[in-house]
Amino acid sequence: MIRKLGIFSFIILSSSWLAWKTFAADDRYLNLQIFAKVLNIVQQYYVEPVDSQKLIYGGIKGMLRELDPHTNFLPPDIYKEFESETSGEFGGIGIEISVEDGILTIISPIEDTPAWKAGIQPGDKIVEINGESTKGLSLVEAAQKMKGKNGEKIKLGIMREGLEEPKTYTLAREIVKLHSVKFVDLEDGYGYIRLTSFIENSAKEMREQLANLKKKQKNIKGIILDLRRNPGGLLDQAVQVSNLFLERGVIVSTIGRDKNKKEVIQAKDSGTYSGFPVIVLINESSASASEIVAGALKDNKRALIMGKRSFGKGSVQSVVKMGDGSGLKLTVARYYTPSGISIQAEGIKPDIEVDEMDMATIEKAKENYHVRREADIEGHLVNESEKAKQKKKEMAKSSWWQKFNAKEKNDKNSLLTNDYQVLQAYNYIKAWKVFKSL
């Protein structure tokens, strides 16, 4: 009897579930019928003839606007441009943008692009494009307005902290060629690698620079990997860059709607550069792929993270190409670091926080603060090392020596004297060996 009741109850529950599924499906199709009806009425009775495709595309955009800002519909022309951007060459002004609190916000200008040269900064709010308000624009719509023919000018109305009214920047669009890897030899086996974005050949270029440093110095003593102002890019490149430094362990995992399905990407030990310390520099404009690399190296105890907490863009987008050449960029999952922490809206917290500081201010403070020592007393006894230093100073004044020594020293000296965070990273990595031996 109990068993019969159990079976009967199951049948009732099953029937209820099927009825609910049917109702949900009918409800969904009813809404689609409403959409089709509205479309039909507009086509028949609107005061002027309308483009059906334009209406349908607009309807799709409106639907996706109810989701997160990284989910967008890409009409055929924009989808074509989207494909070209990751190859490392595209037309535009060179900025990575997001929508924060409904306002179009710059994550980061890309180095050596019109926006970078004009002085546009991370965190700037774009309130106008060519005199028109950006209120209500999606990322795709904003990107479309900012792109145009090579050489054409565009005016951006920018608001930032400290400004009472928008400042207008006039920029000339260019074919933006991305060279994502920049290398500076810090000498004695130390190297500085600046990664500006993750495009198709980023990992390959980094591998080549590491190979050159190893060949030149025989031994790599330490690397500073600079991911500041890096807005991200291709996931496979983030994985490959992480693989350059990791022999084993998890790089990143993703979890989509089904919480029981977790995709995990593991490091491979082939072609790994190990046996030396790595310091990764991040800041508030380090996003997406940058955060994956920083998180992977941090959680696997392979690198020390310095700087400021990163941007916190920890969602995964898949792009689906449609039959008419358009595309759907859809958020499908969240990223998790090897320790299981979601990057989304959290970012990567550095091991050591270092603020960006103006080096000119620091140098001025040094000049105003001077402690008298024996060497400052007139007529003091001069030792041999002081004589050698004096001779070196005199030699450095001569023009032929400056020309001879300029190529190697220039980039290094410029970097260390103009960038406080890099200088601190360099000091830490040089001291690494000393502390390890204690």
Active-site annotation, residues: 288, 299, 313
Q: What are phi and psi of 369, to 5 degrees?
A: -115, 110
Residue 235 has, within 13 A of its CA and on its CB side, a CA count of: 16
As separate numbers, helices (DSSP H) first and strands (DSSP E) second, the chain gives 12, 19
Residue with tokens 């495709």: 53
Q: Give CA 204 to chain center in angstroms.
A: 18
- DSSP summary character for residue 377: S
Residue 137 tokens read as: 């624009």
| Residue 396 to residue 394: CA distance in whole angstroms | 5
List residues bridging with 331 in a β-sheet: 317
CA distance 182 to 196: 8
Give me the residues paired with residue 330 across strands.
Answer: 318
Q: Check if the beta carbon of residue 290 is closer than 8 Å to that of residue 237.
A: no
Instruction: Taking the CA atoms of 398, 401, 405 and 406 in sequence, report the sign of the dihedral they define.
Output: positive
Residue 56, number of CB atoms within 10 A of its CB: 12
Question: CA triplet 351, 356, 358: central angle to 5 degrees?
Answer: 150
Compute the distance between CA of residue 428 and CA of residue 277 in angstroms, rounded to an integer. Answer: 10
